Amino acid sequence: MRYRAKLCIFPVHFCEPYVSPGKLVIAIDGPAASGKSTTARLVAEALGYVHVDTGAMYRAVTLKVLGAGTDPSDGEAIRDLLGETHVELRRDGTLTRVLLDGRDVTEEIRSPAVTRAVSAVSRHRAVREAMVREQRRMGSAGGIVLEGRDIGTVVFPDAQVKFFIVAGIESRARRRAKELQDRGISPDMRALVEEIRERDRLDSTREESPLKKADDAIELDTSDLTIEEQVRIVVDRVRQVAEGRA
């Protein structure tokens, strides 16, 4: 396959997809509401790659835990529950639908209850092992953009392109507030800031694969960038790597 070196013109959504330069693995990590998901989805679209939102997988498991009435801190009970849990990401045009045991839970996994419990569930080794195994399977053929907390450090430490996306707490809270408003929920800004801070704290301090920048990841602060700018930066980097200029 030939790689198209042509630059795309904004907006990125209307760019002709690049023909994949090869089948690279692109790791996009970062804290809550930093802009990972939107960036990862649009980068995948621009490159004709598959997009995997690993946070959605942890959220689906959390929904299962809550639905079963299991205590999010009970690692053993959760490990048993995993044996009867099936999480699937299914492509639907440019969207990805999340199926839990065959049921579409794409919207439900974004509920405040899931958001509050997800870090507690994700810290268990059994949960991480199951999710990482599945993510490696999905990424084994390359041509994929995975976003999460531990992609560049644990899941694909050899990924050819790694970004660590950050943004100031105010920008992140504003973005999350807008997402919630778009879904008809009116958020309390102060509570939102607290929730994001607490989730960052739990994700960064846990023992198993904590949220942390890989040594060879590029840190990108998106506080003052537009979506188009941040997508362009990642896509340009992929092009450099693909052309052997990096």
**Member of 41, 51, 149, 232 binding ligand CDP (CB under 6 A):** 149
Determine the Cα–Cα distance for residues 185 and 112; give it in Å rounded to an integer: 10
Verify binding: residue 59, ligand CDP, rule CB under 6 A.
yes
Q: Which amino acid is at 219?
A: E
The reply to whether 150 sits near ligand CDP by the rule CB under 6 A is yes
In degrees rounded to 5, what are phi and psi of residue 148? 175, -140
Please give the structure tokens belonging to residue 80: 């048993």
The sheet that has 103-104: what strands, in order across it? 87-92, 95-100, 103-104
User: Are the C-beta atoms of residues 138 and 20 closer than 8 Å to each other?
Assistant: no
Q: How far apart are CA 208 and CA 119, in angstroms?
A: 12
Taking the least distance from each CB to ligand CDP, the nearer of 7 and 191 is 191
User: Counting contacts by CB under 6 A, is residue 210 touching ligand CDP?
Assistant: no
How far is 84 from 35, CA to CA, in rounded Å? 32
122 binds ligand CDP (CB under 6 A): yes
199 binds ligand CDP (CB under 6 A): yes
CB 245 within 8 A of CB 238: no
* Near ligand CDP by CB under 6 A: residue from 106, 195, 203, 242: 203
Smallest distance from ligand CDP to CB 19, Å: 29
Q: Is 118 in the site for ligand CDP (CB under 6 A)?
A: yes
Query: Which residues, 23 to 42, sit near ligand CDP by CB under 6 A?
Result: 32-33, 37
How many residues form the binding site for ligand CDP (CB under 6 A)? 15
Chain residues in the site for ligand CDP (CB under 6 A): 32-33, 37, 54-55, 58-59, 118-119, 122, 148-150, 199, 203
